[in-house]
Chain A
Amino acid sequence: MSTANVKSPMAPSLRAKAVTTGLLVLFVLYSLAPTWFLLVSSTKNQTDLYSTFGLWFSANHFMDNLREIWAFHDHLFVRWIGNSILYSGVGALGSTLISVAAGYGLAKFDFRGRSAIFGTIVGASLLPGTLLALPLYLLFAQIGLTNTVWSVLIPYFVNPFGVYLGKVYADSSVPAELLEAARIDGAGELRTFWSISLKLMTTGAITIFMLDFVGIWNNFFLPLFMLNGERSFPVTLGLFAWEKQSQSGINMNTLVLTGSLLSIIPLAVFMFALQKYWRSGVLVGSVK
């Protein structure tokens, strides 16, 4: 009787464990299988792509696919990757500086209109970027800015959510007493910001940079609206263009699949290197 009492909470917990693991494994498989398919497909040539089972390897043509991508239209793909790095790098850097400065200003100074500005920022960060794409396009077309690097960079520079994060980080990592002390010592506000506050906010700044970088790398509709010339495309838009061509006759599936895999790699390396910032960013953004 007493053993039964001890056992009864244990027995279902074993079964529960099996069910728990089973469900987790099931959804892990669901999450990984398509990516696995991409990996496998990038090693196949056109005929094997259609004639062999999609989730397992056949003869390895990965190097051939790489060569084909490299040579296609005068290294077009390399150019796209370069564009993505340029847009993401410069866009995220500009946006981070602007966001950190603005967040710092909002957190540490009690100027008139501060809460109105902050309210607007919170509201604007809920506004999805897709909605703004057409108005932005219309305006930029009017002033002749479309089809230039600036037509994508300028919108990327302005990120209300980044400012919100900047304020949260300034609130939590720059002590008011330190600023008071710097002021008493006669340091100018700009210098205080540059040499003291910015250093204290490094973790926050890197987090904002990383979220921006990933967001811009994955973005696709803004370049789709703004950019016309194939050579100015970021890699996401380029892959879409290839897929479109592929459907209109010329079969470019090996290029699309291998290119898709290659387009993830820089991002994966980047995310992996900055893993710990990634977590903190998501958590700050969601829980606060």
Chain B
Amino acid sequence: MSTALRRSSVAPPAPAPGRAGKRPRPARARGAYKGLLFTLPFLVGFLATYVIPIGYAVYQSLYQKKSSGLGFGPTRTVFTGLANFTDTFSDTSFWSSIVRVVLLGAIQIPVMLGISLLMALLLDSVAARAVRFFRSALLIPYVIPTVVSTLIWLFLYSPTGSPIHDVLGRAGADFDFFGGVATYLALGNVLTWQGIGFNMILISAALQSLPREMYEAAHLDGAGEWRIAWSVKVPNITGILVLTGMFSVIARLQLFGEPLILRQVAPESINTDFTPMLAIYYKAFQTGEYQYAAAQSLILALVTGVLALAYFRFTNRGAK
């Protein structure tokens, strides 16, 4: 009801802003600029923390540090145009870090969202009292800060004092969580563990907003719960699955905290350019190549945008 009322009062002045119609609304038309004043603190902040920093990063990325003499003299910062960008384009370790996180995401995201979807569907068919308990329990990992959850898993992966290794050892088995491909398993598991609950909540919300009649008809036709879940519920919540998928893709491209913490125990398996953000971080703060790191940040932003868009296009076409 209130939506309808609001619509009718907002819509008329919209086509002719600033011009008083035959039914003048003086307060709205004349005072509209005041809305900008309410938005102003945010806009100033946005300028200071988004626009100017990005602009400054663009500016920085056009320079390089050059040391005079034999490398012992003081360094000078000189304008080098697009050199940092052309360097990045031919920097194979940077691109392989992007490929690495994309491959990791290609497996980890479907697994995580699959489990979230499964949990949401199961909760949708369980008695209401049980739902609250299961939902809260599944959400606990989401509440735990990334640093803490990664630290917990770091202890669980470590060969000494870990209950996982205790059990494996008793069974006469052994597993190195940071050996080769296992590193991806270790990292993917941390990400999945953290992500299941939150994505489940989003999917649950979408499920709850489906009209009951939609699958009551299927019930009457004798369809079982699994069949209803698969052929009625899932096709109607592809929107939220695409959205959670896109958020996850963006997050994987920025993957940083988890590998940074895990590499404290496995520096050989997770090297300094394991993910693009790790490469940028170590470039900036270990070797001091700020300008190069700035260029890489900008390229990563661009790649993220392009991949997010491509993902969106691709999944939307699949959904239709």
Contacts and interface: CB of A to CB of B under 8 A. Distances in A.
Interface in B13-45: 13-14, 17-18, 27-28, 31-39, 41-43, 45
A53 B284 CA distance: 42
Nearest to B59: A138
Contacts of B300: 131
Nearest to A114: B35
Contact count band on A: 35 or more
A109 B31 contact: yes
A62 interface: no
Given A31-B138, A101-B42, A105-B39, A134 B294 contact: yes
Given A105-B36, A138-B294, A183-B27, A263 B148 contact: yes
The DSSP consensus for interface residues of chain B is helix
18 contacts: A16-B225, A37-B163, A38-B152, A98-B41, A99-B42, A101-B39, A105-B37, A106-B39, A108-B35, A109-B31, A111-B32, A120-B46, A126-B308, A134-B280, A138-B56, A142-B56, A240-B151, A267-B145
A130 B277 contact: yes
A74 interface: no
Nearest to A142: B56
A207 B302 CA distance: 32
Given A31-B140, A105-B38, A128-B250, A54 B162 contact: yes
A35 interface: yes
B141 A35 contact: yes
The 5 closest A-B pairs by CB, nearest first: A109-B35, A105-B38, A54-B163, A102-B42, A135-B57
Given A50-B160, A117-B43, 12 more contacts: A27-B119, A34-B152, A54-B156, A102-B43, A109-B35, A120-B46, A128-B254, A128-B304, A157-B45, A158-B42, A160-B46, A176-B6
Given A50-B160, A54-B166, A138-B56, A35 B122 contact: no
Interface string A231-269: 000001101100110010000010011001001100110
Nearest to A180: B27
Contact of A53 (B115, B147, B166, B209): B166
Interface in B176-220: 193, 196-198, 201-202, 205-206, 209
A50 B169 CA distance: 14
A265 B10 CA distance: 46
Nearest to B148: A260
A59 interface: no
Contact of A124 (B31, B39, B50, B153): B50
Given A24-B119, A102-B41, A105-B36, A50 B161 contact: yes
Contacts of A37: 152, 155-156, 163
A12 interface: yes
B261 interface: yes
Nearest to B28: A110
Interface string A69-108: 0000000000000000000000000000111011011101
A176 B9 contact: yes
A171 B43 CA distance: 20
Contacts of A175: 2, 5-6
A111 B33 contact: yes
Interface string B48-86: 111011101100100000000000000000000000000
B56 A110 contact: no
Most buried by B among A120, A135, A287: A135
A283 interface: yes
Given A20-B126, A110-B28, A264-B144, A134 B293 contact: yes
B112 to A, nearest CB: 12
B226 interface: yes
A286 interface: yes
B38 A131 contact: no
Contacts of B143: 214, 264, 267-268, 271
Nearest to A113: B36
Contact of B147 (A117, A189, A236, A283): A236
A286 B280 contact: no
A109 B38 contact: yes
B274 interface: no
B272 to A, nearest CB: 14
Contacts of A155: 49
B153 A34 contact: yes
B240 A286 contact: yes
Contacts of A108: 35
Contact of A264 (B60, B145, B154, B202): B145
Contacts of B94: none
Nearest to A236: B147
